[in-house]
Amino acid sequence: MSTCSTVSRDLDEPVSGTAPVARTWLLLEQPGPWGAKALTSSHLDPALGRALDAAAKGTGVRIALVRRPGRHADRGTTAARRVYAAHTVPGNVWLHGATLKDPRRLLGLDFAALGRGDHRTFDSVLDGRAHAGDPLALVCTNGKRDRCCALLGRPLAAELAASGAHGVWEVTHLGGHRFSPTVLVLPHGYVYGRVQAHAVKEILHGAREDRIVIEGCRGNSAWDRPGQAAELALRSALGEDAAQALTVVRTDGAAPRWEVTLAHRDGRYWRVTVVQAASVPPRPESCGASVLGSPARMEVTAVRALPVTAAVAS
């Protein structure tokens, strides 16, 4: 039986500019099964899930549930659970972790501050500290959102864990089911699609050295989708793999055409033209879709270096 990911792969749909958008990620360990909207349809108290969702709205913080790869039994114990926060904007990239027994403590966080990249609220409220281990690889496995995430994501997470890779978690939802298996790597916030275990290991190896693997990359969640596509195109043009080398300074315009200004940490600037086009022929955007769609694709049509004076003036 055909799946949305099979069709997308067969049509060679580009993955660039398709990552979820979040300046800051907040990840809560929650064992057991997940429903389509996991914050309110899991073994987490649904009232707490609704409150967290409301608290994060409009702050730039995206909340997701995570669990260890493997069997997902939840015996209802009060065991301690891990929680992570990661800010992904270059120049202020960080990943902090904490352990807690009562997830209601998350309601004490200043979500606006988290979205701005201030980790002090996480550290003070949850006794958090900087994560000293390996980068995190978060594999989307929520089959209730789309069966591709279960069929392709769960085996990938299990293979990575069995191989001894550290920092591997299953995560509830990263969007872009048709690019499964899809993986978010923290702290830098780059998302990958159609990845296999050997590629994830290469990506994690690079992340430990603050390097980015461009192949298979959907984009950095810190940027909007035109910014994601522009940054990846500029990285390819420059051969630049340093994780925090490029910053999206601004995005001007509106669909279907944007001008994205990017800066290198060495002082250089570029303007990248991104055009939105519809994917043809129509295809299922998820396995649960009742009608075919033409998902938007980001196409980079020009990359121009700017004099510093012009970039600053604009």
What are 234-269's pLDDT values in tens digits? Answer: 999 999 999 999 999 999 999 999 999 999 999 999
pLDDT higher than threshold 90 for residue 12: no
pLDDT of residue 153: 81
Q: Which of 255, 144, 146, 154 is nearest to 197 (CA)?
A: 154
Alpha-carbon distance of 261 to 227, in angstroms, equals 9
Residue 158 identity: A
- The beta strand positions in 94-213, using DSSP E, are 94-100, 129-130, 136-140, 168-171, 183-186, 190-192
| Mean pLDDT in residue range 189-207 | 95
Alpha-carbon distance of 176 to 285, in angstroms, equals 8
Cis peptide before 69 (omega within 30 of 0): no
Task: Give residue 189's region: left, alpha or beta (phi > 0; psi -120 to 50).
Answer: left
- Tell me the CA distances in angstroms from 282 to 27, 95, 179, one per residue in order: 34, 39, 16
What are 15-38's pLDDT values in tens digits? Answer: 999 999 999 999 999 998 888 888
Taking the model in full, what pTM does it have? Answer: 0.92
Polymer length of the chain: 314
pLDDT higher than threshold 90 for residue 79: no
Residue 223 identity: W
Residue 169 identity: W
Torsion angles phi and psi, residue 232, rounded to 5: -65, -40
pLDDT of residue 221: 97
Other Cβ atoms less than 10 A from the Cβ of 80: the count is: 12
Percentage of residues of the chain with pLDDT beyond 70: 91
Alpha-carbon distance of 4 to 124, in angstroms, equals 43
Q: Could you tell me which residue, 166 or 121, shows the higher pLDDT?
A: 121
Percentage of residues of the chain with pLDDT beyond 90: 72
What share of residues in the chain are helix, strand, coil (percent, to 5)? 30, 30, 40
Tokens at 247, concatenated: 């910053």
pLDDT higher than threshold 70 for residue 212: yes
SS3 47: helix
Average pLDDT value over all residues in the chain: 90
